[in-house]
Structure 1
Amino acid sequence: MSAHVMVAGVGMTKFAKPGQNEPYTEMGAAAVRDALQDAGLPYDAVQQAYAGYVYGDSTCGQAALYKVGMTGIPVMNVNNNCSTGSTALFMARQAVESGVVDVALALGFEHMKPGALTSHWDDRPSPFDAFDAETDDLVGQPEIPLALRYFGGAGKSHMEKYGSSMLDLARIRAKASRHAVNNPLALFRNELSPEDVLESPTIWGGVMTRLMACPPTCGAAAAVVVSEAYAKKHGLNTNVRIAGQAMTTDYASTFDAHDMMKVVGYDMTAAASKQVQEQTGIGIEDVDVVELHDCFAHNEMITYEGLGLCPEGGASKFIADGDNTYGGKYVTNPSGGLLSKGHPLGATGLAQCYELTRQLRGTAGSTQVEGARTALQHNLGLGGACVVTMYQAQ
């Protein structure tokens, strides 16, 4: 990356259970207003906008943004499954970095329904057909919803390869709850013990309990990114810059390896992490705080290794040593992550950006990681795409 791109403003709504949320138009507009206020910019300063959501009709992005202003700017609607929010940020960052615009807005929102994720299109090929077929072959368990089989299967693969356990997964979920207690925007703020997690209803014997899965959630988040020159000219906050960013999609190994860890994006994660480190010259050992895609405790466990936070097969020790929390090597998901904060698909990546921007500014309040200077974000979507972003405090 050549030109510096600054995160001038961030905004986020409190996440809510389906049915307890405002419409997506109101949530999206609220997040944008907060991000603009944080940046100290009016809406008419925005030159392009990228609006991300998964479950919605065409031009939902315009519907949300028109609540804030109607200035005739290009609005691009983005859908990249659970990595949608970070994809919107990726595109906004590219627009600024390339010099096409000085100010771009990334917005993500989701207005979800209760229950497991389902497809709304049954009269055409599904983008998950190949993933489903591989999961059927490797996992079976047709009575279990597919998302649970994807990530539960990945965790089961890790257990069989490296000897990780249900206790490791329970410790991850308990850690998420401890962090969320301090986050007023998190959906679930009750602290859990590993025993609470293990004793919650069983979804898949020996593999998953209910508390190891994130809940369907509604919410919105937004970020305003600007060129460094524009920020300095207009006296904007230049405390946080995007030092590097990479997006990867699936490799042949997703299916050829016949391993559920690969099916759910392990190789995409590893490649994106490597690319960002090479772009920036910043090693993973220099990272202070991480927001990663913990849609299931199982995915957090394998992502430690995919990102390089610990060696392959080293997740159990990493967890037992407390290297994933305050006082350890990398404070992971200080927000409470998807497991406790919630996972409104289109908003997730930008909610991660919100948390990490505040961490690097030193304004994260009770979730603050002391002395945080470098932050790493990981946002994953099956089907598939993975976005890894490195932020640095100026």
Structure 2
Amino acid sequence: MDIHEYQAKEILAEYGVKIADGGLAYSPEEAVQRTREIGGSVWVVKAQIHSGARGKAGGVIICKSHDEVEAAAGKLLGKRLVTHQTGPAGKVCYRLYVEAGTEIAKELYFCLLVDRCAERIVMVGSAQGGMDIETLAATQPEAITKIYIEPSVGLQDFQAREMAFALGIPVSMLNAAVKTIKGIYRAMRANDASMVEVNPLVITAKEDLIALDAKMGFDDNALFRRHRIAELRDKTQEDPREMAAADRGLSYVGLDGDIGCMINGAGLAMATMDMIKLAGGEPANFLDVGGGASPERTEKAFRLVLADKNVKAMLVNIFAGINRCDWIAEGVVQAVKKIDMKVPLIVRLSGTNVDEGRRIIAESGLPIIMAETLAEAAEKAVQARNEVVANAAG
């Protein structure tokens, strides 16, 4: 789960990380009121969406008068911002963060994230911060420093100092740098975050170290014990299909294809999507219904997949170990009878009670296409999809 910049900054500030004065606004009038509360003569109006590279997309505007702030807020609110992270669909801005202008002497990059291969938190930093960190990583990887943190002892002072030196922070600011780096680390560990990125972390003209931007991502599996973090969720920034799935306890990831998938087991789901691609099709989603898929859960999964209007065929692929094929078959039949199925349905069952499951589907009288193997199922799904497209075109 991701959160907004202003939310991440509020969390970091609780752990001793300095941030610029700022406030939230939902209208141009509120934006102007925030500038009056902040004071000063320069402000930055920032669109709050779950994406980086907002500056390149026009989502960050520097203003030097209240009229400019009002105009900037009017321009950004309701605007769909498209970045390399949002994809072509973009994300709509419904709230703004108005922040005091900062006199920047130097921009740095700092990040903490879970390296799953190393099974450690890795600290990543560069003396060349700013919007083009991705380009820097590709063209000058030597400009980026990585320091791995031993889980049993946590971040040590000498590691924080090593990173501070790598960032080119002056010796006079070393204590402040160590405090900031350790504060970011504590914020990450204390809230079960999987990533904290501060880009840029800036040195001001007065030699203050300020988090000028911040992103935080959290482990969804830990939200049950982080109620405060869970309440920061902004559903307007999420794929509505994925949000609906999460609310129903299903593992769903929306994709750009048109063959809907309902599968039990993440590994089998990945293999099924690969087979669809190999057969010349494009999967519309990743959906793992899990090992205990009851008929009711199966029906929920059906409705979720078919809610995507791009789906032109649906493939159900079940290998029953913990589960049972007859349960899945009952769920499939129940779902098809209740839902107005307008697309071809291909079902492949294997494992526990497979013969009973196939019998239930065969005797249902429903127009369900059966397959014996995964390869056959993928081929039939692509064929059915192509027929739907051809009929629509004709």
Tell me if TM exceeds 0.5. Answer: no
Structure with higher Rg: it is 2
TM-score (norm 2): 0.24
Greater fraction of residues in strand: 2
Higher relative contact order (CA 8 A, sep 6+): 1
